[in-house]
Amino acid sequence: MIKINNLDSHVETAVEHILNHLNIKVSNEGFPLILKEGTALNVSFDLSKIILTYQTLNEVFVGLRLIKEQGLDKAFQIDYPKRLKELTFMLDASRNAVLKTEEVKHLLNILALSGYDGLMLYTEDTFEMEDEPYFGYLRGRYTEKEIKDIEAYANQLGIELIPCIQTLAHLNGITRYQPYRDIFDTLDILLVGEEKTYQFIEKMIQTMSQMFTSKKINIGMDEAYMLGRGKYLDKFGYEKRFDIMVKHLKRVMEICKKYGFEPMMWSDMFFASGWGDYYAKDKKLPQALLDAVPKEVGLIYWDYYHTEASHYINMIEKHQQFGNKVVFAGGAWKWIGFTPDNRFSLKANQASMKACIEKQVDEVIITAWGDNGAEASVYSILPSIIYNGLLKYGSDEVDSSVKVSFKAITNVDFDHFMLIDSANQLTKNYKHKSTANKHFLYNDPLLGLLDTSTEENYPKIYQKHINKMKKAMPYYGRYQYIFETQLALLKVIQKKVNLGVYIRKSYQEKDLEALKKHVKTLKTVHKDIKLFKTIFSNQWHQDNKAFGYEIQDLRIGGILSRIETSIQKIEDYILGKTLSIEELEVELLDYYGGYKNFQKSHTIAEFRYKPVVSVGVTV
C-alpha cells in the first residue's frame, strides 16, 4: 500500500487520478510517499518510506509507474534521468475521428505514465470559432469549454496542451462553403497576399490564444505543393513557390507575435523548394534559401518512414543548417486503415530517437495521423506511444523491461497487445508496410482490383492470426473492444482475401458447381461484414464523437451492396439468365501499373479508400 502525505491539493488530485489508473490503493496502513523537487527523476524505497524526487510535475507520475513496476516487497533505488528534454504526442482530431473529452483524459493518463510533456491537438477546422458557423460544421468540432476542460486535466498531470492548426494548406473541410471561397488559391491552399486570408488566419490564432494557455503553436504550412498556381497566379502573376511561402510565413509570424505565440511549422516546403524531394539526403540546400527563412520559427522535421539512424542524422544536420530551432516529429502508424503498424513504428522510432539524442534535438513529437478516415483507435498504437516515452528515459530495444512498463501502464501483456497489427502482417519482415486490412475488406469481388496482389497462402496466414487473437482475447481488459474489432475484421478477410481470385477462375473454367459454393461463401462474408460493422461501430462511438462515422457507414455499406450485386450476378449466370459476367471477362493487370508483373499486398501501402474500390471517377 502507498500512503500520501504533505501534498498540496493540486498535486494530490493529479496523483489520485494516476493511482486509480495504476490500481494502487491509498491507505493509512501503507508506506508514506514523500515528493521532492530535484534535478532528475529518482525513486527510492528503504522498507519504511518512498522518496520520489522529480524535476517536472509529469515525472511524479513516471515515478509512480516505477513504484508499481518494482513493488514494495524489497528496498530499491532507481535513477531515471531523461535523455530528451520534451516529448509531445500529437492527436489528429481532423480526419473524421474527434476523440471524446473523457477519452482524451484517459489518453493523458497514459501519456503522463509514459513520460510525455505535451499533448498537441491537431485541429484543421475542428474547433469552435466565433461567428464562423460553417467552420467545423457537422465535423464534431471541440468547443472552448471542452478545450478548457482537457487543458485543466492536462495541467494537473504536468502536461502542456499545445494548439496545432493549419495556416496555409490542409483546410479542405471548409473549401466547399461559399463564405470561404475568396481566401483559397487552389485545392485546399489559402490565397497568399489576400487581406481576407490574413483576417481569417488572425481569427484562428486569436481563438487559439483564448482557448489555450500554452505559448507554443504549430502553424502547419506543410504539403502546399500547388502554392501560387491557382488564383494567386491570376491575381499576382508567377512567383517562385519559395518566395510566396516566405512572404506568407512572415505575415503569419507577425500575427503569432501579436498574440504572444512562439510558432513552429512543418519544414517540408522549404526542402521541396530547395531540391523538390524532402528526403533527397545527398543534395545541398542553397545558402540563399537557408538565409531567407525567418529564424524565429521552429522547424519540425517530420519523418515516419525510415529505420536507419544514419538517415535521420543526415536530415537533422541539414535542418540544423538553417540556424532555427529544430523539432523532430516521428510517427505512430495508425493512418493505414482499421489496423495499425506498431511493428514498423517501433523500429522507426527507435532509430529516429537515437539520432535526435545524438544530434541534441531535445524536442520530439510523436504524430498519430488518421488519414482517409481515422478508422484505427488511438489506443491501437499504445505500444508505439509507450515505447517512445521509455526511449526518452534511456530504453533502446523492446526488451523485458519495456514489456514490464507496458504491463504496468495498460495491465495488458505487450506481446498479446502487438497482435493488434495482425491484419496487415503477411510476412515477418517489419519493413513490409502493408495496408492489407483495408485492401481486402474493400476489394470488390467482381472487379478485383487487388486480386493480383494476393497469394495462395494468405487465408492460412489469417487463420493463424485469428487463432492467436482468440486465445489472447480474455486478457485485453479495458481495451478488449478494439481487439474485438480486429478479430471480426480478420474473420472477414480470411474468407474474402482470395475469394475474388477463386470466383474469376471458376467463371473462366465455366465450373458452375464451384460458383455455387462461392455464392455461399459470399453470403457468409456478407453476414461477417455486417457483424464487423456492428462491432466497429461500438468501437468508434466508445472512442469518438459521432461525427465522421457516416463515412464508415457509407464505405462498409458500399461493400455490402457490392457483395449483394455479386451474388445476384453470379446466380443469374448459373441459372442461365445472363450469358456472361462482364467484370469477370476482363484480364486483370497489376494494381500499380506493372502490367503482368504483379506486386504483392505485403509491399503495398495504399491507405486511401477510393483507389482500392474502383477506377471509376465518380466514387
pLDDT confidence of residue 396: 85
CA distance 240 to 124: 26
* Residue 607: CATH number of its domain: 1.20.120.670
Residue where a domain stops, chosen among 386, 410, 434: 410
Question: Do 55 and 105 have their domain in common?
Answer: no
- What is the tens place of the pLDDT at every residue in 115-173? 999 999 999 999 999 999 999 999 999 999 999 999 999 999 999 999 999 999 999 99
At residue 3, the pLDDT reads 67
Same domain, 563 and 579: yes
Report d(CA 228, CA 237) in Å as an integer: 9
Q: Which of 20, 53, 79 finishes a domain? A: 79
Q: Residue 259 falls within a domain, yes or no?
A: yes
* Euclidean distance between CA atoms 192 and 164, whole angstroms: 20
| Single-letter amino acid code for the residue at 538 | N
Asked if the structure places residue 150 within a domain, the reply is yes
- What's the number of domains the chain is made of? 3
The answer for residues whose C-beta is within 8 angstroms of residue 172's C-beta and 6 or more apart is: 124, 187, 188
Would residue 619 count as lying in a domain? no
168/170 Cα distance (integer angstroms) = 7
| Residue 208 placed within a domain | yes
pLDDT of 600 over the 90 cut: no
**CA nearest 54: which of 26, 29, 18?**
18
Instruction: Quote the pLDDT of residue 281.
Output: 64
C-alpha cell at 268: 517540408
Tell me: do 26 and 134 sit in the same domain: no
Residue at 23: amino acid letter: N
Residue 618 within any structural domain of the chain: no
Residue 536 corresponds to which cell in the numbers above? Answer: 466497429
Structural domain including 432 reads 419-613
Do 167 and 42 sit in the same domain of this protein? no
Q: pLDDT per residue over 255-287, tens digit each?
A: 999 999 999 999 999 988 766 677 776 778 889
Among the ranges given (99-113, 124-138, 276-290, 346-360), the one the predictor scored with the smallest mean pLDDT? 276-290
Are 224 and 122 in the same domain? Answer: yes
402 and 430 belong to one structural domain = no
Strand spans (E) along 57-150: 76-79, 86-92, 118-122
- Amino acid, single-letter form, for residue 76: F
Q: 515 in a domain, yes or no? A: yes
3-class SS at 204?
helix
Residue type, 278: Y
Per-residue model confidence as pLDDT tens digits over 422-433:
999 999 999 998
Which CATH number covers residue 38? 3.30.160.230
The pLDDT-based confidence of 16 (bands split at 50, 70, 90) is confident
Per-residue CA distances from 437 to 94, 345, 406, 423, 606 (Å): 22, 17, 25, 5, 10
Q: How far apart are CA 371 and CA 385, in angstroms?
A: 18
Q: What is the mean pLDDT of residues 187-210?
A: 98
Given a cut of 70, whether residue 7 has pLDDT beyond it is no
The residue among 274, 369, 360 whose CA lies nearest residue 330 is: 369
Q: What is the pLDDT of residue 599?
A: 85
- Are residues 337 and 434 part of one domain? no
Percent of the chain with pLDDT over 90: 88
C-alpha cell of 450?
Answer: 487487388
Looking at the fold, whether 546 and 397 belong to one and the same domain comes out as no
Decide if 296 is inside a domain. Answer: yes
> 611 pLDDT exceeds 80?
yes
Please, which pLDDT band fits residue 8 given cuts at 50, 70 and 90? low
Q: Are 318 and 281 in contact (CB under 8 A)?
A: yes
More confident residue, 368 or 21: 368
Both 262 and 121 in a single domain? yes
Please report the pLDDT score of residue 231 as a whole number. 97
Hey, how many other C-beta atoms are within 10 angstroms of the C-beta on 176? 10
Q: Does residue 362 belong to any structural domain of this protein?
A: yes
Q: Which helix (H) or strand (E) holds 328?
A: strand 326-331
Domain boundary among 384, 410, 436: 410
CATH number where 332 lies: 3.20.20.80
Q: What is the mean pLDDT of residues 305-318?
A: 96
Mark whether 347 and 203 lie in a shared domain. Answer: yes
3-state secondary structure of 400: helix
pLDDT value at residue 10: 58
CA distance 171 to 237: 24
Indicate if the pLDDT at residue 617 is higher than 80. no
* 393, 62 Cβ separation under 8 angstroms: yes
Who's near 513: CB < 8 A, 6+ residues apart?
A: none
Q: How confident is the model at residue 9 (pLDDT cuts 50, 70, 90)?
A: low
| 3-state secondary structure at position 432 | coil
Q: Which of 552, 599, 346 has its CA nearest to residue 438?
A: 552
pTM for the whole structure: 0.96
| 99: three-class secondary structure by DSSP | strand
493 and 398 fall within a common domain: no
- The DSSP code for 395 is -
181 and 308 assigned to the same domain: yes
**Exposure string over 127-143, b if 16+ CB within 10 A, otherwise e:** bbbeebebbbeebbbbe
